[in-house]
């Protein structure tokens, strides 16, 4: 029982540190974050943080890997499914991304800030994402539109899902939307985005 209690306590402390790190890295970025900032956010002493995670870099890699898995993992079940049409994949990806970011609103800003501020950290853990470019999804886009780089359509799809969440705080400050209106818009976009992407793919 004592060993189990310690294991639960360790897990709780480790998750507490990781949650604090997610908040501080999102708010300040990797370069500006100090381990002391994370310890203060987690309400623990610095020695305890160093006991669980040897360095800021190691902790960041763990957090970033989790964020990347969340972000790109949405596509994984659909990428190489040969039994679903391109349109069905687009509909599923759209719905999954909007649901994911609705429940993790800081996710896009975290990833975008690190792409801009620490591309070397980003590149170290994007190996899985590279499989996207050899996927059935990409082949289906190429078959539909052989004269266009498929990245055009993929980037448009992801941008239409993600960018509204990036702009959400600004839209709210401007008085353009409130929480209820924004949620309604995102629900509508689940249906609209696949229609828009289909139009792009069919355009000459």
- For residues 181 and 77, give the distance between their C-alpha atoms in angstroms, rounded to a whole number: 31
Domain 1-54 has CATH 1.10.10.60: yes
CATH number of the domain located at residue range(s) 63-202 in this protein: 1.10.357
Burial group, residue 2, by CB count within 10 angstroms (0-12, 13-18, 19+) = exposed
Domain with CATH 1.10.357 in the chain: 63-202
Q: How far is CA 124 from CA 29, 148, 154, 167, in A?
A: 17, 29, 22, 28
Q: What is the pLDDT of residues 86-110, one digit of tens each?
A: 999 999 999 999 998 998 887 787 7
Whether 1 shows a pLDDT value over 90: the answer reads no
Residues of each domain in the chain carrying CATH 1.10.10.60: 1-54
Question: What confidence tens digit (pLDDT) does each residue in 133-190 have?
Answer: 788 999 999 999 999 999 899 899 989 999 999 999 999 999 999 999 999 999 999 9
pLDDT over threshold 70, residue 121:
no
The pLDDT assigned to 122 comes to 64
Tell me what the mean pLDDT of segment 31-46 comes to: 92
132 pLDDT higher than 80: no
Q: What is the CA radius of gyration of the chain?
A: 20
Looking at residue 123, its pLDDT comes to 64
pLDDT at 30: 81
- Give residue-wise pLDDT tens across range 137-147: 999 999 999 99
Q: What is the pLDDT of residue 2?
A: 42
């Amino acid at each position: 029982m004592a060993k189990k209690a310690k294991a639960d306590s360790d897990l709780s402390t480790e998750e507490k540190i990781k949650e604090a790190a997610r908040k501080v890295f999102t708010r300040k970025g990797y370069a500006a974050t100090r381990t002391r900032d994370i310890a203060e956010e987690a309400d623990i002493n610095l020695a305890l943080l160093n006991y669980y995670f040897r360095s800021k870099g190691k902790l960041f890699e763990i957090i970033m890997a989790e964020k990347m898995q969340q972000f790109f993992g949405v596509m994984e079940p659909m990428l190489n499914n040969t039994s679903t049409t391109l349109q069905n994949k687009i509909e599923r990806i759209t719905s999954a991304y909007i649901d994911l970011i609705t429940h993790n609103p800081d996710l896009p800003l975290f990833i975008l800030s690190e792409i801009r501020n620490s591309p070397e950290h980003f590149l170290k853990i994007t190996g899985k994402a590279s499989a996207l470019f050899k996927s059935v999804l990409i082949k289906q886009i190429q078959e539909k539109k052989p004269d266009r780089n498929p990245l055009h359509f993929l980037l448009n799809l992801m941008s239409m899902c993600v960018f509204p969440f990036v702009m959400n705080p600004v839209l709210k400050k401007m008085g353009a939307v409130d929480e209820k209106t924004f949620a309604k818009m995102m629900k509508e976009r689940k249906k609209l985005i696949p229609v828009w992407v289909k139009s792009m793919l069919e355009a000459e």
